[in-house]
């Protein structure tokens, strides 16, 4: 604790005087509300990627309430982990590149407009709509109906999935809700005929308080659910399509390396790397026979031109 305090004091003096040593020329600052759980796994993967390719870079993790000067002075790039961290740096000086990770597109879109201009990018939690629909074609080729529910902040995301489904000649039933109280009636409407319900990372709709209601209602209506995390599959979703924290951290590390080497941040994108999970218990209960998760993931990667 004493060493850390002395290090922060020394850094504060350097920032105050404007003297930035050469070692800080490759300074990477990560903003995160916690270093536990998924956030910690992401940060460790980011750090490992940088350490392997750019050992001279310095790496510091600071909380969202850290002073702005401590974040920006002498910093090559700032990485925010999670929505809270992204919101905390929304007013940062635009001359410092900022990369947002571990946040859904709805949260990114809600950031102030000027923060989304200039040297700002993101690796979003949302999987590409085309990838989600491709998974349905591979795992459930006989299912022709897709159900979608969005909130006010995820209408654009739901529209992109609906468009991808329509291009694949699938029928789409969708609903938009303004509050959690409207969720159950919306589920009944979009699942009035069995359909594959695609959950999106919109916390106003799909969150820890609503997950059981969503999964139980869909199960009673004989409709499989595609979740956006491994936890959703463990809770009862039939399928999951998601990127692990380690995958996003490594991908963020590659983006940061571009900046350290003098290039610009890559554009805002969905994750390039992903995993597929299958809940075999739910599949048996619904009378469905699915390929193994690793086969589905390999097939998706081949379709996207990547390694199996």
pLDDT tens by residue, 152-191: 888 889 999 999 999 999 999 999 999 888 999 999 999 9
Residue 265 within a domain? no
Whether residue 251 sits in one domain with residue 238: no
Residue 290 within a domain? yes
Whether residue 154 sits in one domain with residue 24: no
What pLDDT score was predicted for residue 180? 87
**CA–CA separation, 279 vs 237, rounded Å?**
7
Residue 269 within a domain? no
The SS3 assignment for 63 reads coil
Whether residue 285 sits in one domain with residue 188: yes
Which secondary-structure segment (H or E) carries 234?
helix 230-235
Beta bridge partners of 171: 145
Number of structural domains found in the chain: 2
Beta bridge partners of 277: 240
Residue 308 within a domain? no
Q: Which residues span the domain enclosing 36?
A: 2-124+246-260
Q: For the whole model, what pTM was predicted?
A: 0.85
Whether residue 278 sits in one domain with residue 145: yes
What pLDDT score was predicted for residue 25? 65
pLDDT tens by residue, 10-22: 444 333 333 344 4
Could you say which residues of the chain have pLDDT below 70? 1-25, 93-94, 113-118, 306-308
**CA–CA separation, 144 vs 24, rounded Å?**
55
The SS3 assignment for 24 reads helix
What pLDDT score was predicted for residue 60? 94
Whether residue 93 sits in one domain with residue 137: no
Beta bridge partners of 31: 62, 80
What pLDDT score was predicted for residue 4? 46
Whether residue 29 sits in one domain with residue 119: yes
The SS3 assignment for 265 reads coil
């Amino acid at each position: 604790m004493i060493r850390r305090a002395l290090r922060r004091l020394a850094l504060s003096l350097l920032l105050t005087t404007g003297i930035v040593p050469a070692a800080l020329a490759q300074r990477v600052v990560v903003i995160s509300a916690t270093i536990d759980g998924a956030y910690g796994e992401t940060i460790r993967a980011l750090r490992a990627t940088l350490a392997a390719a750019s050992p001279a870079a310095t790496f510091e993790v600071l909380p969202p309430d850290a002073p702005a000067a401590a974040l920006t002075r002498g910093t090559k790039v700032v990485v925010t982990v999670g929505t809270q961290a992204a919101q905390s740096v929304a007013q940062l000086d635009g001359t410092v590149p900022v990369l947002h990770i571990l946040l859904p597109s709805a949260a990114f879109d809600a950031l102030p407009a000027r923060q989304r201009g200039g040297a700002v990018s993101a690796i979003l939690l949302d999987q590409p709509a085309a990838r989600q629909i491709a998974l349905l074609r591979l795992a459930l080729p006989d299912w022709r109906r897709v159900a979608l529910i969005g909130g006010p902040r995820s209408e654009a995301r739901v529209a992109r999935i609906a468009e991808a489904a329509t291009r694949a000649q699938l029928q789409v039933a969708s609903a938009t809700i303004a509050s959690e109280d409207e969720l159950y009636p919306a589920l009944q409407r979009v699942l009035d005929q069995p359909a594959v319900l695609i959950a999106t990372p919109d916390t106003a709709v799909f969150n820890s308080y609503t997950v059981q209601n969503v999964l139980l209602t869909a199960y009673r209506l004989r409709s499989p659910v595609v979740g956006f995390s491994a936890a959703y599959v463990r809770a009862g979703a039939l399928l999951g399509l998601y990127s692990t924290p380690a995958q996003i951290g490594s991908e963020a590390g590659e983006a940061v390396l571009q900046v350290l080497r003098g290039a610009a941040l890559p554009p805002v994108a969905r994750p390039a790397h992903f995993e597929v999970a299958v809940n075999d218990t739910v599949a048996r209960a619904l009378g469905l026979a699915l390929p193994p998760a690793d086969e589905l993931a390999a097939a998706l990667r081949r379709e996207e031109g990547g390694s199996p």
